[in-house]
Amino acid sequence: MGSRVHFRTCSLCEAMCGLKIELSEGRVTSVRGDEDDPLSRGHICPKAPALAELHTDPDRIRVPLLKREDGTHEEISWERALTIAATRLHDIQQAHGRDALAAYIGNPNVHNLGALMFGPNFLRTLRTKNRFSATSVDQLPHMLTSQQMFGHQLLLPVPDIDRTQLMIMVGANPLASNGSLMTAPGIRRRLREIKERGGRVVVIDPRVTETARVASEHLFVRPGTDSFVLLRMLARMFERGAKVGRLAEVTEGLAQVESLVKELASADLCTRTGIDEDTIVRLADELYDVEGGALYGRMGTATVRFGALNQWLINLINLTSGNLDREGGVMFSTPALDGLAEAGGLGVGRGAFDRFRSRVRKLPEFGGELPVAVLAEEIETGGEGQIRALVTVAGNPVLSTPNAERMDRALSRLDFMVSVDIYLNETTRHADLILPPVSPLERPHYDVALHLLAVRNTAKFSEPLFPAPANAKHDWQILSELTMRLLRLRGSRRRYLRAKMLHTLGPTGLLDLGLRAGPYGPRAGVFGSGLTLKKLKQRPHGIDFGPLEPRFPERLPTGRIQAAPDRFLEDLERLKREPEREGLLLIGRRHVRSNNSWMHNVPSLMKGKARSALLMHPNDAALRGLTGARRVIVKSRVGEVETEVVLSVDMMPGVVSLPHGFGQSKKGTQQSVAVARDSANANVLTDEADVDLLSGNAVLNGVPVEVLAVTGSSTPEAR
C-alpha cells in the first residue's frame, strides 16, 4: 500500500487544527500540525494523535447491536436494525401521540458534517416537541441572547483575539478548551502575542486556571456572582457615556437599560463577588479607554443561575465601550458556508423562544428544544405526552446532564430506545438498539458550525483518510434512512421524495450547494470565478479569506440591535431578589486531553496522573477537619460521590472543583480504558431542579456541597 501524506482538520474539539497525517501500509504513523494551515499555523493539542487510536479502538462498536431480554447484545444486519428502529418508533407515536417520542443530540454532532446536514431533517421528521441536546448544559444562554439582541441564534460575537489590546475573560479557560465559542487554535501563542504587542490579558475565575497562569492579571470571583461584576462594569460605561458610535442608529432600548442598571449596580452587591468595587471600575475603565478590547465569558458565566443575563450584560458592555463589531473587539465571522443564510445555510433558522413549554415543570422551549434538565421528569411522569421512547445521537446524558442518577433510572423505564453511537456507554447500555457510524477518519470533514465562531475567515475540506468498510454506514446515512422509513410508514410521499433527493445529494453535495450560495461563491464575484467544493478540494491546507471585518448592520437579520429585550429586563428583578449562597460551592473544570465525556477510552489521553480529583483550598480542608484525608465524600442535595482530594492554593477559599465527563463506572458498558480509571461523575451532584429560569439552562457551576472525610484515608497531596 506504500506511504502517503494526508491533510485534514481535527474534528475532536472547537479549535479546527490543521493536521498532517503520515500513513504507511494502511496505518497512521505520524500526526503533526500542518504548518500551512492558515488558521492553526502548525498548532495541535494532545487530542489530535488520538484520532488514530479512536479509529482502531477495539471497544468501538462496528455493527448494529440488538439487546436481548437477558440484557446481553447480539449483532444484527443493518436492514433488520433500521426496520426495527423505524417500526417501533412509529408504533409508539401511533399509540401514544407524537410527543411520546424524544430525541437527545450530543456535542460530537457539532463536529460532524453529515450529522449537521441531515440531523435537522431527521428531527423535523420525528414531529415531537420533546427534543433535547447538549445545548442546554452549555451555550444556550449565548444563543438565546444573540437571538433576542441580534435576531439570530447563531450570530455569536467572537473576540478578535489577533488584534485586541485587552482581553478580559470571565469564567473561561481557553487553554483547556482550545477556545470555546471562539475557534482559536494555538490559543497560548495568541494570548502571548497580545502581551508582546503591549496589551493585557485578564482572567476572572474562582480558580487559578491554566489560562490564568499566563495572564497579566487574575482575579478570584465567587461562583454565580458574575452578574454583579458585570452590572457594575456596565454602570461605569454609562457613567462615562456609552460609546455606541456608528451602531447608535440601529440600537434600540439603551436608555431603558441605563436607568435600570444605574439603580441596581452597587458597592454592596460587589462585596458578594470577592472583587472590590474599585477593581471592577478600573477594569471597566481599561476596556472603555483601550483601542480595541474584548470582554469574553464562557462556561463559568453560562452554566449558572443567571447565565442568560450574564451574556446579555457582556454584550452590552462590549457595545457601550465601543468594542462591538470593531477591530480588536468582538466581531462576527463571514463563513464560506453561511449558517445565517436562508439558502445554503444549516437549516436551523433564526431561532425562536418560548413558543411552548415543558409538560411537567413548564420551562420554555428555545429553537425547538426543551431544556435537558426536564428530560428525566418527562419520562417518569405519567399522563398525555409522557416520553416512552428515546433516540440519542452521539450523546451521553447519564454523564453530561444534571442529577445523573435520576437520569440513569429514568432511561431504564423507557419502552424503547435507539442510540446512534460508537460506544456501549453509560447511556447506550439502556438502548434496545445501537446503530454505530463509521469512525471520524472514514468520513469527509468540513466544519459547518465552527467557522461561524472562528477568529479568522477560512475554509477547508478534508477527504476521508480511510474508505468506510463495506458493511458500515455514515451518521448521515443512518439518520437519512431512518427518516425515509418513518415517512414511508406514515404515507408521506412528498416528504419522502424530498428526503430521497437529499440522500442522493449526500452531505458533500449539500456542502457544494451551500458554498456556491455563500459569500465567496460564484454569484459573489470573489475568489476568482467563485468558491465551489471542487476548488476547495484543490486546496488541502485550506483557504484564507482574511481577518474578521465589521459586519453590522448588514449582518443583522432585522437590521436592528435590541438592547433591552423584555425578558432580560424582567430577569434583573429576579437578580435583585437573589439570596447569597453560603458554604462550599462546586465548579467544574476541563482538561486539554479530554472533551466532555467521549474521549476517556483513548489510552494516550488517559496516560499520566489522574485528573478527576476534587480540588480544595487547604484552609477549607482545615476548617472541616480534612487535613489528614486523602479521599472524601462530596454531597449535594441530589447525590454524593467519593473521590480523591487534592489541596490547592489555586482554588478560591469556599470553592471546590470536580471535572465533568468522568465517572465511567456503570455495569454493562464496554469502555475498558475509561472504566479502569478511578473517577467520579460530577453530575451526580448537580441538581436538575436548579436552572437559569430565563433560559432553562442547567446550573453546573456554583452548586452547594458538603465535603466529608472517608475514614482511613491517608494524607492528601498538597500543591
pTM to 2 decimals? 0.96
Examine residue 665 and state whether it is found in any structural domain, yes or no.
yes
Backbone angles phi, psi at 582, to 5 degrees: -110, 170
Domain hosting 258: range is 157-330
Do the bridges between strand 416-420 and strand 389-393 make them parallel or antiparallel, or are there none, so unpaired? parallel
Instruction: Inform me whether the pLDDT recorded for 32 exceeds 50.
Output: yes
CATH number of the domain enclosing 45: 2.20.25.90
Contacts 24+ apart (CB under 8 A), 663-666: 663/399, 663/404, 663/426, 664/399, 664/425, 664/426, 664/597, 664/600, 664/601, 666/398, 666/408, 666/426, 666/429
Of 491, 526, 547, at which residue does a domain stop?
A: 547
Say if residue 313 is in the same domain as residue 368.
no
Give the β-pairing of 703-709 and 584-587.
antiparallel
Based on the domain organization, do 115 and 164 belong to the same domain?
no
Boundary residue ending a domain (497, 521, 547): 547
**d(Cα 73, Cα 670) in Å, to the nearest integer?**
11
Same-domain pairing of 75 and 22: no
Across 328-351, average pLDDT: 83
Whether residues 589 and 653 share a domain: the answer is yes
User: Where would I find the H helices in 384-460?
Assistant: 397-400, 404-411
Same domain, 219 and 324: yes
| Cα–chain center distance at 198 | 32
Evaluate if residue 1 carries a pLDDT over 60.
no
In a domain? residue 363: yes
Residue with the larger pLDDT of the pair 581 and 638: 638
Look-up of cell digits 431544556: 371
pLDDT digits (tens, 9 = 90+) for 277-308: 999 999 999 999 999 999 999 999 999 999 99
Indicate the number of domains in the chain.
4
Q: Is residue 682 a part of any domain in this protein?
A: yes
- C-beta separation of 185 from 16 below 8 A: yes
Q: Is 522 exposed, middle or buried (0-12, 13-18, 19+ CB in 10 A)?
A: middle
Say which CATH number the domain at 224 has: 3.40.228.10
Q: What is the pLDDT of residues 64-104, one digit of tens each?
A: 999 999 999 999 999 999 999 999 999 999 999 999 999 99
Q: Sign of the CA dihedral 508, 511, 513, 515?
A: negative
Residue 594's identity, in one-letter code, is S
Determine how β-strand 18-24 pairs with β-strand 3-9.
antiparallel
pLDDT at 344: 52
If asked whether residues 102 and 201 sit together in one domain, one would say: no
What's residue 676's pLDDT?
A: 83
668 and 537 housed in the same domain: no
Q: What are phi and psi of 268, to 5 degrees?
A: -60, -45
Residue at 674 is within a domain:
yes
- Which pLDDT score is estimated for 170? 98
pLDDT greater than 60 at residue 483? yes
Report whether pLDDT(263) > 90: no
Q: What is the pLDDT of residue 558?
A: 94
Q: Are strands 655-657 and 614-616 parallel, antiparallel or unpaired?
A: antiparallel
Spatial contact of 559 and 146, defined as CB atoms under 8 Å apart: no
For residue 655, give the CATH number of its domain.
2.40.40.20
Which pLDDT score is estimated for 181? 95
Q: Tell me, yes or no, whether 335 lies in a domain.
A: no
Instruction: Kindly calculate the radius of gyration of the chain based on its CA atoms and give it in whole angstroms.
Output: 25
Taking CA atoms, 279 is separated from 62, 173, 201, 204, 293, in Å, by 56, 21, 15, 12, 17
Whether 574 maps to a domain, the answer reads: no
For the chain, the average pLDDT equals 94
Residue 113 scores a pLDDT above 90: yes
Of the CA atoms within 13 Å of residue 74, those in its CB half-sphere come to 7
Q: What is the mean pLDDT of residues 514-532?
A: 85
Give the pLDDT of residue 199.
Answer: 98
126 found inside a domain: yes
Q: Is the dihedral of CA 524, 352, 118, 121 positive or negative?
A: negative
SS3 letters for 24-55? ECCEEEEEEECCCCCCCCCCCCCCCCHHHHHH
526 and 437 share a domain?
yes
**Does pLDDT of 165 surpass 90?**
yes
Confidence of residue 714 (pLDDT cuts 50, 70, 90): very low
Strands (E) located in 277-428: 293-297, 330-331, 353-357, 364-366, 389-393, 416-420
Q: Which range is least confidently modeled, 18-22, 129-133, 389-393, 591-595?
A: 591-595
Nearest Cα neighbor of 519 from 348, 345, 335, 344 is: 335
- Nearest Cα to 476, choosing from 116, 131, 127, 199? 116
Do 507 and 377 reside in the same domain of the chain? yes
Residue 464 pLDDT more than 70? yes
Are 603 and 668 within one domain?
yes
Question: Residue 130 and residue 55: Cα distance in Å, rounded?
Answer: 33
Residue 364 falls within a domain, yes or no?
yes
| 33 and 87 housed in the same domain | no
- Measured between alpha carbons, how far is residue 566 from residues 49, 139, 352, 496 in Å? 48, 21, 15, 41
Same domain, 218 and 286: yes
